[in-house]
Structure 1
């Protein structure tokens, strides 16, 4: 099938788009016609609740003492008072109806846009069984997944040599990988977090060896976007006996490889603190006021290709773009790992008003910039030389400025199981103009079969 909008898939996408538009119209009808002033009160109260809650969260994060307590109280009280208003005034049914209509509109819109996109599958190449595979495993990763799933024994049963890291001593995993290559390894793999994955992936890419990803870390974002089963990391070992290769891009920051993201600014400063690993929430709350409104706050200056990004609070550069800013909450997805482009997400929030604008408008807010680039250069405002805090795949580093992020397209050959889970098509952001064209525009004819 040539175009995604043709055939059965195109008909389904068009129907879903029309349902989305119908549900959105239903929201307007409920607001303006059917319920009159009541509907407008519900919408205004809900919007005001979001704005006030976002302002409270800003005060909670940016200040200490009485202001922090006030911000926490506001952040909690705002949604509670909105619910109380709906209940006392008998508006809860109206609010529920509006919420259902809007949720239906968004669900249908995303489903329609997902179906209308051409699904470019990663081209996999059948792979021969490796003769001397070497797997590096971190027993501490993911709360002990290596031992819990018996990964070392299962790997040895499939003919792999396993290097278990000593939990009590730091290890140079890149050096271990290079030694394995010197010893004749024809496949490298890692059971560990994404930071460890990236270090060994760089060695595999350097020697054009297949790289096996075993999702034994905590989040395993790289494995998720490869379509691997994070709930059962042992399934990744099937690639040793029945695997195929896919080519993906490899990010590079200051000469160091990364598979997911590089963070600058507030988050990168927080993870540098020695107490962060043991008390993440408490450490972040303690440091945030100094990082957000303190006298020594340093702003980031960046250039994404030819686009300048001035006075940013935080910057995230990803190996291929995430589909939506949900990456900030750890739920974002990358529909592709072979686009040849970096994803760039920059945040510039200076106060409660901008925090509220970001909460209400999301990606349309002036405080959030989302774009793609092939090269990103980051430095600190007003600083010619020096070091900057950087979090590379969650690992805390200090790097000299300017820090340059780039991409090596197709540099990494990943060995995956032939029967791995299909990579889900992530829900795209809702673009109503595009949706209207899909719903009521002229359909394209299918391209002839090759």
Structure 2
């Protein structure tokens, strides 16, 4: 097998590999309004020789189950579920040096989108078990917690943190956002990347590789997942009165940059965040880093589209960014 270097050395093309002999898949039957059952994912996986573990409400023993599976001979770990389910399995796959499989059985499936998978047919991801190629990608880490997509702070983290968010996302967003913008919800955090510090942005997003421009359907994509850097985007919407005084504008002030390390700090010992869309609290200061090319992802050789290799957007200044 011929290897191809990616990351800063240039694009890495997917590599043909022999099919895994002992795949072990984790499936969340609650994700995506029951996609695991609707698409017959467990049955198809079993027909391809995979062992399947269904997630229950208590996932505290998941890492131990995954390590035990590898000890028993598993040469691939996979997930059928949403973005929030991927990272714990990806971390073990990276640590143990086995292949990782993504089956987009959640609601948004952003990581699957950036891998070029068909999100409308999660069962097609299982074709990789018999005819797959490997894409070597980066993995993000905040503190000791891995992430495949991003760490979000500010308005989005406040919205996701509401206990009723999963049941009524739009109504919760409409309820929380005015309080965030008006200052009734205090955020009080800073984001540091190299010599740059951004204080109290409305939204801050630290991503596993930088996002590019929004594509079809208004969804931003990462054109590369192997650049070996974090993406950073901070947006300052400003107070409603300030926006009116400034007149209409198409985009709020923002900064878009890349960094090998991003530090999130706050006066309090913890700060609310959303990691891969899941609400959590981070101990401060929280350090985000990248693990370059640490994850080998098995994807179907035939898939609808693959991520391109266009460059990320150039940095733009933000109103409350200060250099140290």
Relative to the length of structure 1, the TM-score reads 0.63
Distance 1:358 1:279, change over 3 A: farther
The reply on whether 1:135 has 2:18 as its aligned counterpart is no
Distance 1:429 1:198, change over 3 A: closer
The reply on whether 1:165 has 2:49 as its aligned counterpart is no
Following superposition, the deviation at residue 299 of structure 1 comes to 2.8
Alignment of 1:267-282 (within 5 A): 267-282=156-171
How far apart, CA to CA, are the structure 2 residues paired with 1:207 and 1:358? 54
Following superposition, the deviation at residue 170 of structure 1 comes to 2.5
Q: Deviations over 1:201-242 (max 9, x none)?
A: 000000111001111111111111111111111111111111
Alignment of 1:55-74 (within 5 A): none
Following superposition, the deviation at residue 305 of structure 1 comes to 2.1
Distance 1:159 1:251, change over 3 A: same
How far apart, CA to CA, are the structure 2 residues paired with 1:239 and 1:398? 36
Following superposition, the deviation at residue 126 of structure 1 comes to 1.7
The reply on whether 1:152 has 2:42 as its aligned counterpart is yes
The reply on whether 1:193 has 2:79 as its aligned counterpart is no
How far apart, CA to CA, are the structure 1 residues paired with 2:240 and 2:184? 18
How far apart, CA to CA, are the structure 1 residues paired with 2:285 and 2:313? 36
SS where residue 312 of structure 1 aligns? coil
The reply on whether 1:228 has 2:117 as its aligned counterpart is yes
Distance 1:296 1:217, change over 3 A: closer
1:408 aligns with one of 291, 297, 303: 291
The reply on whether 1:387 has 2:270 as its aligned counterpart is yes
Unaligned runs of 5+ in 2: 1-9, 315-324
Following superposition, the deviation at residue 406 of structure 1 comes to 1.0
1:340 aligns with one of 228, 253, 259: 228
1:398 aligns with one of 281, 285, 306: 281
- Structure number with the higher strand fraction is 2
Distance 1:330 1:259, change over 3 A: farther
Q: Deviations over 1:66-99 (max 9, x none)?
A: xxxxxxxxxxxxxxxxxxxxxxxxxxxxxxxxxx
How many residue pairs get aligned? The number is 302
- Structure number with the higher helix fraction is 1
How far apart, CA to CA, are the structure 1 residues paired with 2:299 and 2:291? 20
How far apart, CA to CA, are the structure 2 residues paired with 1:368 and 1:389? 21
Alignment of 1:15-414 (within 5 A): 121-166=11-56, 169-172=57-60, 173-295=62-184, 297-324=186-213, 326=214, 331-352=219-240, 355=243, 360-362=249-251, 367-380=253-266, 383=267, 385-414=268-297
- Conserved? CA contact 1:305–1:373, under 8 Å: yes
> Which of the two has higher C-alpha Rg?
1
Which stretch shifts more, 172-181 or 192-201?
172-181
Distance 1:374 1:311, change over 3 A: same
SS where residue 262 of structure 1 aligns? strand
Unaligned runs of 5+ in 1: 1-119, 432-450
Following superposition, the deviation at residue 410 of structure 1 comes to 0.1
RMSD: 2.4
Relative to the length of structure 2, the TM-score reads 0.86
Give the corresponding residue for 1:101.
none
Distance 1:208 1:352, change over 3 A: same
How far apart, CA to CA, are the structure 2 residues paired with 1:258 and 1:430? 22
Following superposition, the deviation at residue 123 of structure 1 comes to 1.9
Distance 1:296 1:395, change over 3 A: closer
Following superposition, the deviation at residue 183 of structure 1 comes to 2.3
- Conserved? CA contact 2:22–2:76, under 8 Å: yes
